[in-house]
Every structure is written in C-alpha cells, then in structure tokens.
Amino acid sequence: MGLVLAYRLIPWVQSLEVPREEVELKVKKLEKYMQLVQEGKGLEKEYSRLKREMSRLEAGLLPGKTSALAAVHVQNVLKEITDRNEVEIKSIRVLKPQPIKGAPYIKIPVEFRMHSDIAELKEVLYEIQRSSKYLKVTRLRIMAYSRKKGKKISSTLTVEGIMKKG
C-alpha cells in the first residue's frame, strides 16, 4: 500500500513545483517589461521636450485665425520695415494662400512694390530676413527707373509668411 501511495503522491507533489525553466522565463519577461517601462519614461521626457520645442518654433508663425488676418500681419510687418528705412510702398497686394503639402500649415504670400536705392533695398531685405515671424522673400524683381546720380530702383518683392491651418 505504501508503494501505491508513493506512486500516486510523487507525480502530484512534482506537479506542485514550478519548473525552474518556467521561473527563469518569467524573470526574463519581467526584466524586459521593466526595461520597456524605463524606456517609456524616457520617451515621455523626449515628448515633453519636443512639445516645448514645437511651441517655441510655432511662435514664428503668423497670428490670425484666417489667411486674411495673417496677410494683414505680413502687410503691417512690411510697412514697419519700410517706414524704418524711409522707403515708401507704392503698391501692395495679397496673393492666393498656398497649403503646404503634408503639413498643417499655409503659406501667405504678399507682393509689394517700392522705390528705393540699392542700400535701402538691402536693408529692407535684411530686416525681412531677421523678422520675428518666419518671412521669406520668394520673388524679387528690380528695375532701374532713374539714371540720375541717386540711382533709384523700383523693386517688386513677394514675401511669404506661414500660418497654422484652422
């Protein structure tokens, strides 16, 4: 009877023991999950940093809820720049906004014509470039209109700013 009892109890007792391989496998899985959690914390920090950087960069976008309001802002910036350089804008017009493919932004082009000398044009171009808003001269046409000593020129510039859609 003792032999029969031992024959029945030994497999049952062995089934209660967790195989060593299974424990090692679970420990490895647990270590892997812990590593993923640590990487996730690093990703959260990186995401937070990228959000701050995005906010800083988007500060250079044109303000306004519509492209018309953004275009007015570009016109105001151009007016301030030309006034500081004592250059008169002869004409100004807003061109058709252009969506940027694959991005949630819109280009806002504004064309203006002014009369100046070369030095004044250079200063206007420099100030457009260093504006706090992202402005870019995409087209520049220059024509001489005075052969006198002052060497006046007529310039037509297309300046683009960028605004966020919606």
In this structure, the answer to whether residues 152 and 77 fall within a common structural domain is yes
Cβ(143)–Cβ(90) below 8 Å: no
Rg (CA), the chain: 34
The tens digit of pLDDT for each residue in 13-49 reads 555 555 667 777 788 888 888 888 787 777 888 888 8
Q: How many CA atoms lie within 13 A of 55 on its CB side?
A: 6
In this structure, the answer to whether residues 71 and 54 fall within a common structural domain is no
The tens digit of pLDDT for each residue in 75-117 reads 999 999 999 999 999 999 999 999 999 989 999 999 999 999 8
Total domains in the fold of the chain: 2
Residues spanned by the domain of 38: 2-58
In this structure, the answer to whether residues 149 and 90 fall within a common structural domain is yes
Structure tokens at 103: 């991005």
In this structure, the answer to whether residues 19 and 74 fall within a common structural domain is no
CB atoms within 10 A of CB 19: 10
Sign of CA dihedral 57, 58, 61, 63: negative
In this structure, the answer to whether residues 45 and 108 fall within a common structural domain is no
3-state secondary structure of 166: coil
Parallel/antiparallel/unpaired status of strands 135-144 and 88-94: unpaired
3 confidence band (pLDDT: 50, 70, 90): low
The model's pTM is 0.71
Cβ(70)–Cβ(123) below 8 Å: no
The residues with which 161 forms a beta bridge, in sequence order, are 108, 135
In this structure, the answer to whether residues 16 and 38 fall within a common structural domain is yes
CB atoms within 10 A of CB 120: 18
Spatial distance between the Cα atoms of 92 and 71, rounded to a whole number of angstroms: 11
In this structure, the answer to whether residues 147 and 85 fall within a common structural domain is yes
